[in-house]
Amino acid sequence: MFGFLLGEALRDLRRAGRVAVSAIVLITLSLAALGAFWLLSSNLAEAVVQFRERVKIVVYLKREPSSGESRALVERVRALPGVAVVRYVGKAEALGTLKQVLGKDAAVADALPQNPLPASLEITPTAEGATLEGARALVMRLGALPETDEVGGGVEWMEQFAHGRRLLWLFGLGVGAVLAAAAILTVTTATTLVLHARRDEMEIMRLVGAPEHVVRLPLLLQGMMQGLLGAMLAIWLLVGCYAILGPRVEPLVRETLGLARLTFLRPHNVAFLMLAGTLLGGVGGILARGRAEP
């Protein structure tokens, strides 16, 4: 029975002709767009995770405390929620670090009449403290300390990065949704054309007592086959683009995001795209069936 239904679906697909090809192309484009934005979003998420592991929050102090005061301050800050490690940096150490950064121009720092750099605390947050919400809360706690003059770190960059990632994901969903809707309508049109072409044949099948699902299932299978084929083409399109563009983009990604290499979609992402394509085609077949009820 399944072989008969599959054969009928393949024959219907050939009957649909160019309209069926258009539907497959639209499904390919919609899923390729969704997969591309999915790939970008997953790599951005990986960059955020790596950045969180390196993030440090710096608390600049109003004045340089004495040795006893600095130890007490470090212990007090270490007890705050979201703090993993605290290191006190005195004015002399901060100036020495600046000289190392300046290298051959270190003489500029020696020419200063006095050390202008403040004492500070370098804070490594916990995993929870390195999240966007956790970092915000930690910065507020640190800013409330009476010794604090200013709090600096990567929180603002994290906020902009997370906001940009959300916008990218929403844009990808919007483009994918528009193309998916167009694909469904095209599959519906292709299946409707097949319905009209098979109208007499379907009536004969009903008259000889063929079950309704035998009459209708080839149309649904036709749409699902279009969707599955479109999904497979979309995946191969993504693989090709990744193979060609990946090596060229990776140096830029390494410099800007700190990622050693771009990662492709995970197996479950690929499986989802194939399932989504099959469902898109199936929805188109169902809609055509509803429009052609006897």
pTM exceeding 0.75: no
Choose between 256 and 137: higher pLDDT.
137
Q: Half-sphere exposure of residue 236, counting CA atoms within 13 Å on the CB side?
A: 7
Q: Is the pLDDT of residue 291 over 60?
A: no
Q: Which range is most confident: 67-81, 119-133, 222-236, 277-291?
A: 67-81
How far CA 55 is from CA of 61, 62, 156, 158, in Å, comes to 19, 23, 12, 10
**pLDDT recorded at residue 7:** 57
What value does the mean pLDDT take over residues 113-133? 83
Span of 5-19, 31-45, 232-246 with lowest mean pLDDT: 5-19
Tokens at 289, concatenated: 């069936």
What value does the mean pLDDT take over residues 1-19? 56
Q: Is the pLDDT of residue 3 over 60?
A: no
Backbone angles phi, psi at 127, to 5 degrees: -60, -40
pLDDT band at 4 (very low <50, low <70, confident <90, very high): very low
Q: For tokens 């649909």, name the residue.
A: 16
Tens of pLDDT along 11-23?
A: 655 655 566 677 7
Domain ranges of the chain: 2-51+159-291, 56-153
Tens of pLDDT along 198-244?
A: 565 556 655 666 555 555 676 677 778 778 888 899 899 999 988 88
Burial class (CB in 10 A: 0-12, 13-18, 19+), 255: exposed
**pLDDT recorded at residue 236:** 93
**pLDDT recorded at residue 292:** 44
Helix (H, G, I), strand (E, B) or coil at 122: strand
**With contact defined as beta carbons under 8 Å apart, do 91 and 119 qualify?**
yes
Choose between 89 and 218: higher pLDDT.
89
pLDDT band at 290 (very low <50, low <70, confident <90, very high): very low
Q: What string of DSSP letters covers 253-279?
A: HHHHT--SS-----HHHHHHHHHHHHH
Identify the helix (H) or strand (E) that includes residue 86.
Answer: strand 83-89
Topology annotation, domain 56-153: Alpha-Beta Plaits (3.30.70)
CA dist 258 and 255 (Å) reads 6
What value does the mean pLDDT take over residues 153-169? 67
DSSP letter at 128 equals T
Q: Is the pLDDT of residue 245 over 80?
A: yes
CA dist 275 and 191 (Å) reads 20
Task: Calculate the dihedral angle through the C-alpha atoms of 41, 43, 49, 53, rounding to the nearest 10 degrees.
Answer: -150
CA dist 224 and 183 (Å) reads 12
Span of 32-46, 75-89, 205-219, 225-239 with lowest mean pLDDT: 205-219
